[in-house]
């Protein structure tokens, strides 16, 4: 069996090992998991699915449980700067060495069973959480729900943050089809918390068919903003809370769903109101409405589908009214790029397209065609990398403007690397 000394080499090999980048289905990964863990002792588990908001929910859960003093394992994807961000224990990304050891163990256990890059990562996270004997593990679904590798683990509570149109090649073209796929994480008699204000009928029907009790925002729990902070309530329960550190109206909905999940699991994992309050002030999540201050501030957002950019537009209008906004952007070619442009158009002064090297990213020629068919003008092309596009956007900016970097995890990663390693912020 193959063995590598560096994490980089392991990841490069995994990308070439399996013929498909995405290969939905649980049979292969479950077989390897049982080989690795014949006597698996599952810690309390919260699984989070959704089109948008999954990362925010995981980060908020992690902060609340850590504030209570629990040992927390959190598995998320994709990463922004380093692969290690995907697997965290007590808020700290695990080391290259530990991930490599887990990969080696998985590679031995799999025999001739082929695994994808994401399946290797999921198995590694579960292995490392087991070794660390975490008190609770938080698992973010990578794609969909029903056939995602994360779904091989039975949750003790499930959260679906939102349902929107994304990944239509894999999940379907309607909210009904996508809702059905995401509700694949439901289990009989296991509570499911829904943070979407208008859940698809397919999701509700799947819950009834599986005898899954579902709890919906606006019905079973809700929130009310106040002059200072906000108020969460569910039946006779209520908590006064500080405003979420993560910005945007949608973060109240995400936090509300998280708080309901935490209270629903309180018999197994007791959490005080103080821990919930402290947790909300300790949440950190890169790339989501992340503001880098400066004479010309930079706002980063990984939003890459219509629902996410609608939320971004709302945030820009309320937080940066009257500012000229210069968009530095790139998107994956399988996204609804035309809809994103139309939604963002009213708030963007000019556009700067960044070519990225990943084969899944839309090319310049593809982007030129989409722009030519839209009502959006004032776009600049011809840059060789992020730094060139950034400098061009900055040259067109003046004090009081805002630089917005959005559209892809890969783009936000490029931005953070450049801001960290160069003099771009000056």
Mean pLDDT, the chain, integer: 91
Domain limit, last residue, from 231, 258, 282: 282
8 A C-beta contact, residue 73 and residue 136: yes
State the angle between helix axes of 306-319 and 337-344 in degrees (0 to 180), rounded to the nearest 10: 10
Q: Can you tell me whether residue 340 is helix, strand or coil?
A: helix
Residue 168 lies in a domain: yes
- Count helices and strands (H / E) in the chain: 15, 17
The rounded distance, in Å, linking the Cα atoms of 397 and 418 is: 18
Contacts with 7 (C-beta within 8 Å, 6 or more apart), sequence order: 83, 84, 96, 99, 100
Give the pLDDT score at 253.
Answer: 95
Shared-domain flag, residues 95 and 156: yes
pLDDT of 425 higher than 50: no
The verdict on residue 426 lying in a domain is: no
167 burial (CB, 10 Å; 0-12 / 13-18 / 19+) is middle
Same-domain check for residues 35 and 14: yes
Which CATH number do you get for residue 413? 3.90.190.20
- The pLDDT value given to residue 143: 75
Give yes or no: residues 254 and 297 share one domain. no
Q: Given 3-state DSSP classes, what are the helix, strand and coil percentages for the chain, each rounded to the nearest 5?
A: 45, 15, 40
- The distance of Cα 273 from the centroid of its chain, to the nearest Å, equals 26
pLDDT band of 22, cuts 50, 70, 90: low
Give CA–CA dist 89/129, Å, rounded: 7
Across the range 153-166, mean pLDDT stands at 88
Clarify whether residues 60 and 127 are in a common domain.
yes
Dist. CA 17–CA 347, nearest whole Å: 44
> Which residue, of 252, 282, 312, is where some domain finishes?
282
**End position of a domain, from candidates 282, 317, 337:** 282
What DSSP assignment string belongs to 161-181?
A: ----S--HHHH-SSHHHHHHH
Nearest to 297 by CA among 393, 406, 401: 401
Question: Total structural domains in the chain?
Answer: 2
Give 207-254 pLDDT, tens digit per residue: 999 999 999 999 999 999 998 899 999 999 999 999 999 988 889 999
Residue 119, in any domain of the structure: yes
Residues 166, 418: Cα–Cα separation, whole Å:
29
Does the predicted TM-score (pTM) go above 0.85?
Answer: yes
* Containing structural domain, residue 50: 7-282
User: pLDDT > 70: what percent of the chain?
Assistant: 94
Between strands 136-140 and 72-75, the pairing is parallel
Nearest to 306 by CA among 267, 349, 342: 342
Alpha-helical runs (H) found in 18-53:
27-36
Q: CA angle at residue 7 from 4 to 9, to 5 degrees?
A: 55
Residue 112 lies in a domain: yes
Phi and psi angles of residue 200, each rounded to the nearest 5 degrees, phi first = -60, 150
Residue 1 lies in a domain: no
d(CA 289, CA 285): 9
Asked if residue 110 and residue 172 are part of one domain, the reply reads yes
Task: Establish if 262 belongs to a structural domain.
Answer: yes
Region 333-355 average pLDDT: 93
Residue 326 lies in a domain: yes
Q: What is the pLDDT of residue 24?
A: 61
**Quick one: 158 and 296 in the same domain?**
no
**Interatomic CA distance for residues 252 and 195, integer angstroms:** 10
pLDDT digits (tens, 9 = 90+) for 25-69: 789 999 999 999 999 999 999 999 998 899 999 999 999 999 999
Q: Give the position of tokens 């061009």.
A: 392
Reported residue count of the chain is: 426
Q: Could you tell me the pLDDT band of residue 178, with boundaries at 50, 70 and 90?
A: confident
For 66-108, what is each residue's pLDDT tens digit? 999 999 999 999 999 999 999 999 999 999 999 999 999 999 9
In a domain, 107, yes or no: yes
Q: Which of 119-123, 278-282, 292-296, 403-407 has the lowest mean pLDDT?
A: 292-296
What's the mean pLDDT in 348-375?
92
For residues 50 and 162, the answer to whether their CB atoms sit within 8 Å is: yes
Q: In the 8-state DSSP scheme, what is residue 247?
A: -
């Amino acid at each position: 069996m193959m063995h590598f000394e560096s994490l980089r080499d392991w990841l490069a090999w995994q990308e070439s090992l399996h013929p498909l980048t995405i290969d939905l289905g649980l049979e292969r990964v479950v077989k390897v998991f049982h080989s690795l863990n014949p006597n698996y002792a599952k810690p309390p588990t919260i699984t989070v699915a959704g089109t948008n908001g999954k990362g925010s929910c995981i980060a908020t859960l992690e902060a609340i449980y850590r504030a209570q003093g629990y040992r927390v394992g959190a598995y998320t994807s994709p990463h922004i700067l380093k692969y290690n961000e995907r697997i965290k224990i007590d808020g700290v990304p695990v080391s290259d060495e530990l991930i490599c050891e887990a990969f080696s163990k998985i590679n031995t256990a799999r025999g001739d069973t082929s695994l994808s890059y994401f399946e290797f990562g999921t198995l590694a996270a579960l292995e490392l959480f087991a070794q660390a004997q975490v008190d609770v593990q938080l698992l973010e679904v990578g794609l969909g729900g029903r056939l995602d590798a994360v779904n091989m683990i039975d949750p003790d509570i499930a959260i679906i943050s939102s349902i929107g149109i994304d990944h239509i090649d894999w999940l379907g073209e309607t909210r009904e089809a996508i809702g059905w796929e995401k509700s694949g994480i439901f289990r009989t008699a296991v509570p499911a918390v829904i943070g979407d204000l208008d859940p698809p009928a397919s999701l509700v029907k799947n819950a009834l068919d599986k005898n899954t009790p579902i709890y919906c925002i606006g019905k079973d729990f809700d929130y009310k903003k106040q002059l200072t902070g906000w108020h969460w309530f569910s039946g006779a329960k209520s908590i006064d809370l500080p405003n979420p550190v993560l910005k945007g109206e949608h973060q109240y909905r995400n936090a509300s769903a998280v708080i309901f999940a935490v209270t629903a699991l309180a018999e197994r994992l007791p959490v005080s109101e103080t821990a919930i309050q402290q947790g909300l002030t300790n949440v950190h999540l890169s790339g989501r409405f992340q503001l880098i201050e400066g004479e010309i501030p930079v706002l980063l957002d990984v939003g890459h589908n219509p629902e996410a950019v609608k939320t971004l537009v709302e945030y820009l209008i309320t937080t940066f009214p009257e500012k000229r906004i210069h968009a530095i952007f790139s998107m994956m070619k399988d996204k609804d790029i035309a809809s994103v442009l139309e939604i963002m158009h009213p708030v963007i002064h000019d556009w700067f397209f960044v070519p990225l090297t990943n084969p899944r990213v839309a090319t310049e020629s593809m982007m030129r065609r989409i722009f030519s068919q839209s009502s959006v003008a004032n776009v600049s092309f011809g840059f060789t990398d992020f730094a060139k596009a950034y400098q061009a956007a900055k040259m067109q900016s003046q004090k009081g403007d805002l630089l917005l970097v959005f559209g892809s995890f890969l783009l936000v990663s490029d931005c953070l690397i450049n801001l960290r390693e160069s003099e771009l912020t000056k």
